[in-house]
Amino acid sequence: MKFTRRQILQSAAALSLMPFAARATPQVLEAREAIQRIAPQGFPETKVWSFGGTVPGAPIRVPQGSRVQRRLLNQLPQPTSVHWHGIRIDNAMDGVPGLTQDVVPTGGSFDYDFVVPDAGTYWYHAHNQSMEQVARGLSGPLIVDEANKPDVDQDLTLMLDDWRLDPETALIVGDFDNGHDLSHAGRLGNLVSVNGQFDPMFEVKRHERLRLRLINSSNARIFDVGLEGLSGWIVALDGMPLEAPLPVNEAFPLAPAQRADLIVDVVAEPQGTASLVSFERDGAFGLARFTIGEQNRDQVRQGIDPLPLNPLPELKDIDQAPVHRMVLQGGAMRWLESARIGDAELSGRELAQLGRFWALNGYAERPSDPFLDARLGGVHRIEFVNETVFPHAMHLHGHHFRLVLGDGSLGPWRDTVLVDRAQTRQIALVADNPGDWLLHCHMLGHAASGMMSWYKVS
């Protein structure tokens, strides 16, 4: 990491401000109902649940290394909590009811107060009855700025979401726990939004360079993101910069909870349009459009520099690190024969009656003992073995990890890894953040119906 004058000044300022900040009342983050236009013009507006009155929720944007303080005030008819996804956070602030805090009842509040060690694109979302609360709109962007930002003309955060709306009323369909969704791919919607709007438009100029921060906040939809009229690179995944930017030559998957930072040049002709599209089995559809204004540069910038790396731990001696297998089981066409809930072994039929269709290592609910009990600083490998016929987006709280590729080399740092049907994927991490951390599938219906575990670092 380069030590620059600007960084020194910033950290000095942060130090001297700390005592004052500690006394100040934190900013309120109000979880409440709101009305918003999600569907296209001509349809009614939609009643949503929001952080701060809008979907996506109130944007939080801070410099790297700074402190975030928010008082969650719950004005919803259900208890809730906030998880700060991808932040290598103090465990007590991780927002998991029953593991790191008590649930926040209607009318109650909770003071979140944490430091953000890494620059990048993160997000926050409800972590109680997530399958319903996130689907109703309870998520927002959390952007942490590098001290030295890349040279771009616009820095746009694009939150991709998936809604299941009644086509007559545009109200959110309330069948969150329907057994078909739970036991298949999860809750897939009938309208995709970007920043809470259907097919929004952004104004750009030919040859401009844009940073696009893509966040997939949908319950279950895996986007296959492609570019039209834009050309560039993936520069970060799940917040963490790639050592070498990766040219976007074809569509790439963005699973629920994953983020990708792109730096792209506008190459479409003036008066034309460029688009962000998603390719799905039944064809491509537009996510967002860019109208191309007059050219403000003769040509696009040449080349790209990687973003400054974050202060992640050094992952070494992977070969000697123990491997912990986590078998992903169940779901339609691979129905569970049996699985455990606590000490009880239940049959597949009994589990289905409880709305449980999936298991991790034979448990259809977060077990009382951790899946992994790690000493602080230890290096561990986790091998996800997907015996189901559905993909799963496995998320670790509190740590980023690296993929261990087939040839033993290390892939990018991530906090959520997509494990395809019948696939086995290995990850490696340094257990350097003490606490009790959740490990679960981020297809939220899968998490609610069995794919929930945890690991301990002490």
Taking a C-beta distance cutoff of 8 angstroms, is the pair 68, 62 a contact?
A: yes
| Least Å from the CB of residue 441 to Cu ion | 3
Q: Rank residues 272 and 355 by Cβ distance to Cu ion and give the closer one.
A: 355
Q: Which residues pair with 83 in a beta bridge?
A: 125
Binding mask 157-196 for Cu ion (x = CB under 5 A): ----------------------------------------
- The answer to whether residues 29 and 71 touch, using CB atoms and an 8 Å cutoff, is yes
Q: Which token pair is 268?
A: 């479409």
Is the CB of 187 or the CB of 446 nearer to Cu ion? 446
Question: How far is 59 from 203, CA to CA, in rounded Å?
Answer: 20
DSSP designation for 22: H
* Structural contact between residues 236 and 304, judged by C-beta atoms closer than 8 angstroms: no
H or E element, residue 447 = helix 444-448
Binding segment (CB under 5 A) for Cu ion, from list 28-36, 97-105, 290-298, 385-393: 385-393
By the rule CB under 5 A, 392 interacts with Cu ion: yes
Rule CB under 5 A: choose which of 207, 211, 440, 446 binds Cu ion. Answer: 446
Among the listed ranges 15-23, 190-198, 251-259, 384-392, the one in contact with Cu ion (CB under 5 A) is 384-392
The binder of Cu ion chosen from 248, 441, 452, 457 (CB under 5 A): 441
In the complex, minimum distance from the CB of residue 208 to Cu ion, in angstroms, rounded to a whole number: 38
CB nearer to Cu ion: give 199 or 224.
Answer: 224
Distance from C-alpha of 234 to C-alpha of 160, rounded to nearest angstrom: 17
For Cu ion, which is the closer residue by CB, 350 or 420?
Answer: 420
Q: How many Cα atoms within 13 Å fall on the side-chain side of residue 433?
A: 23
Pairing between strand 209-216 and 259-266?
Answer: antiparallel
**Which string of x and - marks every residue 399-438 that binds Cu ion (by CB under 5 A)?**
----------------------------------------
Scan for tokens 């189901």, then name that residue: 388
Q: Which of 165, 443, 444, 448 binds Cu ion (CB under 5 A)?
A: 443
- Using alpha carbons, select from 299, 276, 279 the residue that is nearest to residue 288: 276
Q: Nearer to Cu ion by C-beta: 427 or 441?
A: 441
Nearer to Cu ion among residue 140 and residue 256 (C-beta): 256
Q: State the number of binding residues for Cu ion (CB under 5 A).
A: 4
**Distances in whole angstroms, Cα of residue 109 to Cα of each of 73, 75, 128, 367:** 4, 9, 14, 28
**Which residues contribute to the site for Cu ion (CB under 5 A)?**
392, 441, 443, 446
